[in-house]
DNA sequence: CTAGCACGGCGTCAAGCCTG
DNA sequence: CAGGCTTGACGCCGTGCTAG
């Protein structure tokens, strides 16, 4: 087994091993909502997609281990076996609803982070962005853009703009009318994910690049200013590339978030294991005490 | 010092799930 | 049902540790 394979094997079985540990802790009297919720999900999924039960997965995993030691791995088969566990967020949230003290994974907090609380109370925006000059841009429902300057005692300098295509915009044809002037003379508009859309150098058609706000290095994403007017094969190819880059960027962020949730989930399970081990130990001691009481030695 | 190993993180793909 | 979201799997890379 090469190192990568070993690593992947460990990673693949980490969750399953954790679940087996917990399941061994679970003995009817001591409820374990993690295992319950997971097995519940398993059962629902088994009905739909023939996902094996925990025992089946364990058995198959053992077979996998032996097969892998021989260097024969059917990754596709393993994918099928291990595919589609319930999401960490779902499990943890169910766990937190069952067991007080278990932290919940927030739904989506990326946009709330870094946004002053007083911004949220001034309107009902669908999105809030921050410009390079520290201003906040709130895009309200209906396409109205509100621009504000954060002051020491609240929000100042509220401005409102409308998007040129507000109303019934064609898909993907949003035109930003507000931009901030950056140090290098380009105009920037901030988008979610701590990145900026920068107006690129002049050409036949205005283009935009997605950059990190602190650096001037483009990430190779070129956005057409008016996708609705694409006709030539080159433009179509650029649009396809742009869509792909956007998808990759989103998936990159999603993968990061997923890993963060996974780590949180594993931490939660580990702490739960620790609690249950203590609980189990206490129960065993109690059982021994009761045994001694019920069957005193006859000397 | 260096090769080898273990481990963690990241980007990407693919497939299932969820939701409007 | 289409499109977005979620997550397992895989390959790659960087880092730290250790034996030679």
Distance A82 CA to B8 C1' (A): 22
Computed over every residue of chain A, the mean pLDDT equals 49
Question: A3 beta carbon < 7 A from strand B?
Answer: yes
Task: Give the nucleotide at minimum CA-to-C1' distance from A171.
Answer: C3
Task: Give the nucleotide at minimum CA-to-C1' distance from A87.
Answer: C6
Question: A193 beta carbon < 7 A from strand C?
Answer: no
Note the pLDDT tens digit of each residue in A79-127. Answer: 444 333 445 556 555 555 555 444 444 433 333 333 333 333 223 333 4
Q: Would you state the pLDDT for residue A234?
A: 81
Give CA separation, A147 vs A126, A128, A179, A196, in Å. Answer: 14, 10, 11, 16
- Cα(A249)–Cα(A242) distance, integer angstroms: 10
Which residues of chain A are under the pLDDT cut of 70?
A: 1-231, 296-299
Q: Would you state the pLDDT for residue A248?
A: 92
Distance A221 CA to B16 C1' (A): 29
Pull the structure tokens for residue A186.
């380009």
Q: Would you state the pLDDT for residue A276?
A: 93
CA angle centred on A160, ends A159 and A163, rounded to 5°: 145
Q: Would you state the pLDDT for residue A286?
A: 96
- Cα(A283)–Cα(A109) distance, integer angstroms: 41
Q: Would you state the pLDDT for residue A219?
A: 35
CA-CA-CA-CA torsion sign (A49, A38, A79, A248): positive
Partnered with residue A189 across adjacent β-strands are A197
- Cα(A129)–Cα(A194) distance, integer angstroms: 9
CA A233 to chain CA centroid, Å, is 35
- Cα(A16)–Cα(A159) distance, integer angstroms: 54
Question: A49 beta carbon < 7 A from strand B?
Answer: yes
């Amino acid at each position: 087994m090469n190192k990568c394979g070993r690593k992947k094997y460990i990673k693949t079985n980490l969750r399953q091993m954790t679940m087996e540990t917990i399941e061994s802790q679970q003995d009817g009297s001591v409820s374990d909502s993690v295992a319950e919720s997971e097995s519940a999900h398993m059962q629902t999924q088994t009905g739909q997609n023939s996902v094996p039960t925990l025992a089946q997965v364990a058995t198959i995993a053992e077979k996998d281990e032996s097969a892998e030691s021989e260097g024969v791995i059917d990754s596709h088969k393993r994918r099928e076996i291990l595919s589609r566990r319930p999401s960490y967020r779902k499990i943890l949230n169910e766990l937190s609803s069952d067991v007080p003290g278990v932290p919940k994974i927030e739904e989506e907090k990326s946009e709330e982070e870094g946004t002053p609380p007083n911004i949220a109370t001034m309107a009902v925006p669908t999105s809030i962005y921050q410009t390079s000059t520290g201003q906040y841009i709130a895009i309200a429902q209906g396409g109205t853009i509100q621009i504000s300057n954060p002051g020491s005692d609240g929000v100042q300098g509220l401005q409102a703009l409308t998007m040129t295509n507000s109303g019934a915009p064609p898909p993907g044809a949003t035109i930003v009318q507000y931009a901030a002037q950056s140090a290098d003379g380009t105009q920037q508009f901030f988008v979610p994910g701590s990145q900026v859309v920068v107006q690129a150098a002049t050409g036949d058609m205005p283009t935009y690049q997605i950059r990190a706000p602190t650096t001037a290095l483009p990430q190779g994403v070129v956005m057409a200013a008016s996708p609705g007017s694409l006709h030539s094969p080159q433009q179509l190819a650029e649009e396809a590339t742009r869509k792909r880059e956007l998808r990759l960027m989103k998936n990159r962020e999603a993968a990061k978030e997923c890993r963060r949730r996974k780590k949180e989930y594993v931490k939660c399970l580990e702490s739960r294991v620790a609690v249950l081990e203590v609980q189990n130990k206490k129960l065993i001691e109690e059982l021994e005490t009761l045994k001694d009481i019920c069957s005193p030695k006859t000397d």
